[in-house]
Structure 1
Amino acid sequence: MKNEYFMGCDVSKGYADFIILDKSKRCIEHAFQLDDTFAGHNCLYQKLERFFSDHPESRLYAGVESTGGYENNWYQAMHQYQGIFDIQVARLNPCGVHASSRADLTRTITDAVSAKTIAEYLIAYPDKITYKNEDSWASLRKQWSFVQMLTKQKAQLLNQLESLVYTANPEVLRYCQDGVPDWILTLLSRYPTADKLAKARISDIAKIPYVSKHRAKTLKAKAKTSIASSLDETTRQLISATVAQIKASKRTIQAQTKILSQQCSPPEVALLKTFNGIGDYSAIGLLLEIQSVKRFASAKKLASFFGLHPVFKISGDGKSGFRMSKQGRKAPRSILFMVAMSAIKSNALIRALYQEKVSGGMAKMAAIGLCMHKILRIIYGMLKNNMPFDPEIDRKNREKARKAENTPTTDKIRRYQTYDEDAPVSKRGKKRRLERQSSQGAINTECGIEKTVPAPS
């Protein structure tokens, strides 16, 4: 049996700190620091060569925290060493490493201490770590991040444009309540301010795509009576430049998304697109986040990964309602949010669920969150069973769940003792106990268990 050792790598911008521990958390190689250069990587190779020479028949587990890309060079370097040394490399979630450090009551934080914390995390939580030999999604994930960055920049430019137009021609903002359409961008590029639009010919305005003659007359009439306060040349130039940047961003996003869809064409993408509300962009994004559905033992595990699982805190007399946890990264939830918004319009199953919850008094945002959770469970079933979307399967599952809800159940928490009336609980606690007993009684009555026999007539 091989001896196991653990190397923690704390990555910083331009350098990294390393330490090697054994399974008993004893220091085998004291902390050392290397620069992220050719010489530094070569020095790491020499250190590993010396280590395996001193410790033959050993296996080294190395861990690096995900730090937004700074860890890639070190991760790839150690990954390449796998053909030479018996080494396994893993990326670690910084949240888990930080929680482990807090549990150890670590007070002094340095780069060397952080490297040791990473190594100790590898030892303490082996079941939480996945050592991968190859990341087939690495290049696609880079391109996906690039598209997301462009999308974020476009949103910032649109916000800036709205601020400029508010003082230069506020009357056209009534057409931008559901986003800025392309014809508005073309209109602003030609006539940035209200005074320019007021002097334009109706026939020239009507030449803009999707602008009818009636709309052109309305736009010109509103511009003549505009309350615009910024009509100077600087404002005109800023609006024109901002519109040009937005159009350029849109073209780049479309081109990059097309390239992404061509490069990422596994069968799972086509499978996800059978769900009304998921397009190329959303399917690729969801697949890059999920990677393999086999990583998740159940739909609940997948919901927890997306941060959609409900949380409910109760302790003593304190009580708070259910809410979405929103733990983890925002990117997966933002993709699923847009899918839910699209599915509410185009998918009959999700639209019916949304309308049912809203008409029942649920807040709209809460109903959208519920739809996101529902869509994710459907996606899990589609990928796990390799089956396209079928609303009939969901209908059968809901009927099965409804039958299970009507089955009388016992309270597992109180399985050894029922509620004792003499217990010195608070007034609020006693009220909660009565509510719990009445709700259980309602289930039994509905099932016909406690119904009294009618008296003979």
Structure 2
Amino acid sequence: MEQFYLGADVSKGYSDFILIDQHKQPVETNFQLDDTAEGHVKLYDQLAHILAEHPKTEILAAVESTGGYENNWYNALLKFQGSLNIKTARLNPEGVYCNSKAALKRTITDKVSARSIAEYQIAHAEKIIYQQEDYWAPLRKQWSFVTLLTKQKTQLLNQLEILVYTANPEVLQYCRDGTPQWVLKLLKQYPTADSLSRARISTIVKIPFITKERGRKLIAEAKKSVASAQDNFTGQLISSIIGHIVQLEKSIKAQLKILADNCSIPEIELLKTYPGVGDYSAIGLMLELQTVARFPKVKNLSSFLGIHPVFKASGDGSTVARMSKKGRKEPRRILFMVVMSAINCNPLIRDLYQKQVASGKEKMAAIGICMHKTLRVLYGMLKNNTAFDPDIDRVNQSRSRTKTATMLKDKNRRYQEFDSNAPVSRRQKIKRKEQKTSHSATSDAQCGINTSAPETSL
């Protein structure tokens, strides 16, 4: 079956299209349509006319992710799939840009961008997933809304800390690990040190988690406070901010309940068997991944999250490996929080973290290794539809060590051993010598040969 490729460069309110064949020759030259009902109908009519002229043809359409402007066109193309022989995909703009740059294109216009999208489908067909209707899209919007509310809450908490530092600084000693609810209730009633110093013990102890002893301490510290802002305007502002924070917490809780009620799928329950993954983390990961079938190997999933290592080792030069951070930011953030929790409650990750730190790695580098380990375990759980079992990982580790021990030689040197007469640099010569010594020691160990010097008795 012959294939045509439709490239759509979406702008605010309109889109540019081009249709080319597998030889990159235009089937339909550039045309522009508005993002209206009439524009969508015109696109359908044009595609239907082309398919009528070429009955044994399939159209592969693609749009770039442009922050939401592409959604109307993308959904329209998905609806066309019901009556037209067409498939639709959403592309990463960076991949299209790099492919265009490799083709040495120097000008950037809407027409050129539409053609670049179509040509990318031809050049990298194996990297494109043509999807059916995305059932997760509404829930991802809900998740984005929860994330927005959480950011607003964090901003208000930061602003509250600045105000409390000048109005009631002694209270901040109880907020080193977050702001407890009893502190918010206390500050809402007594926002300044002056108002707190005139409070009664019988009134303060009505707030949960405030005992008589703590109440007396709070009042005594307020009387000796170094606060510089004691005016009513600052107090009113603190009370207002706390009111907004409490309201945001209620909204976040309600939205998370809606997500939990609409995300009752087996994959989420499976992820929750891993110590460190809760309801919030499991839902967030599945909304981003959608299905593990999208990723043939765990390396693909690692690249999707941007936690794969990147380094440079060319010639004599080399750089230290680091996390790429070029994938999806939100699932990477969720995975980071999962690992921080797993270090405390999951022996598998805790032992790995302590081992890496003991070997001299920085704590953040050790956390990155734990993130990659956690992702591999979660991928295996979803791929094989099995709950978390640390014994499976131990078996896989022993199998990996056995496989590594049998790989004594570099495959790149399978046709020729290192030649001592080769005109290499001094650094390369040292590198080859170390590699040869390492291979020799490993080979002797495999054969049971003891290369240590014999002991002599005096």
After superposition, the Cα gap between the structure-2 partners of 1:436 and 1:389, relative to the gap in structure 1 and judged at 3 Å, is same
Query: For the residues of structure 1 that align with 2:439 and 2:150, how far apart are their CA atoms?
Result: 51
SS in 2 for 1:413: helix
Deviations 1:118-163, CA, capped at 9 Å, x for gaps:
1111122211111112212122222112112212222222222222
Partner of 1:213: 212
Amino acid at match of 1:161: L
After superposition, the Cα gap between the structure-2 partners of 1:57 and 1:412, relative to the gap in structure 1 and judged at 3 Å, is closer
Query: For the residues of structure 2 that align with 1:402 and 1:49, how far apart are their CA atoms?
Result: 57
After the TM superposition, which residues 178-217 of structure 1 pair with which residues of structure 2 at under 5 Å, given as runs? 178-217=177-216
Q: Is 1:163 aligned to residue 162 of structure 2?
A: yes
Tell me the CA shift for residue 449 of structure 1.
5.2
Amino acid at match of 1:279: G
Deviations 1:160-218, CA, capped at 9 Å, x for gaps:
22222222222222222222221221122112222222222233222211222222222
After the TM superposition, which residues 21-420 of structure 1 pair with which residues of structure 2 at under 5 Å, given as runs? 21-407=20-406, 409-420=408-419
Tell me the CA shift for residue 456 of structure 1.
12
After superposition, the Cα gap between the structure-2 partners of 1:39 and 1:205, relative to the gap in structure 1 and judged at 3 Å, is same
After superposition, the Cα gap between the structure-2 partners of 1:288 and 1:56, relative to the gap in structure 1 and judged at 3 Å, is same
After superposition, the Cα gap between the structure-2 partners of 1:292 and 1:226, relative to the gap in structure 1 and judged at 3 Å, is same
User: Which is further off, 35-44 or 331-340?
Assistant: 35-44
Tell me the CA shift for residue 448 of structure 1.
4.7
8 Å CA contact 1:25–1:120 kept in 2: the answer is yes
User: Which is further off, 355-364 or 95-104?
Assistant: 355-364
SS in 2 for 1:308: coil
Query: For the residues of structure 2 that align with 1:187 and 1:439, how far apart are their CA atoms?
Result: 65
User: Which is further off, 51-60 or 129-138?
Assistant: 51-60
Deviations 1:331-385, CA, capped at 9 Å, x for gaps:
1100101111111112222222222222332211111111111111111111111
User: Which is further off, 226-235 or 144-153?
Assistant: 226-235
SS in 1 for 2:412: coil
8 Å CA contact 1:154–1:249 kept in 2: the answer is yes
Query: For the residues of structure 2 that align with 1:306 and 1:440, how far apart are their CA atoms?
Result: 35
Aligned residues: 456
Tell me the CA shift for residue 251 of structure 1.
0.9
SS in 2 for 1:21: strand
Query: For the residues of structure 2 that align with 1:110 and 1:164, how far apart are their CA atoms?
Result: 49
User: Which is further off, 202-211 or 66-75?
Assistant: 202-211
Tell me the CA shift for residue 9 of structure 1.
0.7
Amino acid at match of 2:152: Q
Q: Is 1:423 aligned to residue 422 of structure 2?
A: yes
User: Which is further off, 344-353 or 261-270?
Assistant: 344-353
Query: For the residues of structure 2 that align with 1:451 and 1:360, how far apart are their CA atoms?
Result: 26
Tell me the CA shift for residue 454 of structure 1.
6.2
Query: For the residues of structure 1 that align with 2:339 and 2:455, how far apart are their CA atoms?
Result: 54
Tell me the CA shift for residue 281 of structure 1.
1.0
8 Å CA contact 2:408–2:443 kept in 1: the answer is no
8 Å CA contact 1:293–1:380 kept in 2: the answer is yes
8 Å CA contact 1:154–1:246 kept in 2: the answer is yes
Deviations 1:367-418, CA, capped at 9 Å, x for gaps:
1111111111111111111111111212222222233344451111222222
8 Å CA contact 2:205–2:211 kept in 1: the answer is yes
RMSD after superposition:
2.1
SS in 2 for 1:10: strand
Unaligned runs of 5+ in 2: none
Unaligned runs of 5+ in 1: none
Tell me the CA shift for residue 419 of structure 1.
2.4
Deviations 1:280-331, CA, capped at 9 Å, x for gaps:
1111111122222222222222222211112221112222112112121211
Query: For the residues of structure 1 that align with 2:167 and 2:313, how far apart are their CA atoms?
Result: 53
Query: For the residues of structure 1 that align with 2:208 and 2:424, how far apart are their CA atoms?
Result: 71
After superposition, the Cα gap between the structure-2 partners of 1:239 and 1:435, relative to the gap in structure 1 and judged at 3 Å, is farther
TM-score (norm 1): 0.94
Amino acid at match of 2:29: H
8 Å CA contact 1:306–1:329 kept in 2: the answer is yes
Amino acid at match of 2:59: L
Query: For the residues of structure 2 that align with 1:176 and 1:431, how far apart are their CA atoms?
Result: 55
8 Å CA contact 1:408–1:443 kept in 2: the answer is no
TM-score (norm 2): 0.94
8 Å CA contact 1:408–1:444 kept in 2: the answer is no
Query: For the residues of structure 2 that align with 1:403 and 1:170, how far apart are their CA atoms?
Result: 59
Tell me the CA shift for residue 428 of structure 1.
2.5
8 Å CA contact 2:188–2:238 kept in 1: the answer is yes
Partner of 2:437: 438
After superposition, the Cα gap between the structure-2 partners of 1:255 and 1:294, relative to the gap in structure 1 and judged at 3 Å, is same
Query: For the residues of structure 2 that align with 1:426 and 1:234, how far apart are their CA atoms?
Result: 72
After superposition, the Cα gap between the structure-2 partners of 1:408 and 1:51, relative to the gap in structure 1 and judged at 3 Å, is closer
Amino acid at match of 2:388: F
8 Å CA contact 1:9–1:16 kept in 2: the answer is yes
8 Å CA contact 2:5–2:59 kept in 1: the answer is yes
After superposition, the Cα gap between the structure-2 partners of 1:264 and 1:454, relative to the gap in structure 1 and judged at 3 Å, is same
8 Å CA contact 2:15–2:32 kept in 1: the answer is yes
Q: How high is the sequence identity, in percent, across the aligned residues?
A: 57
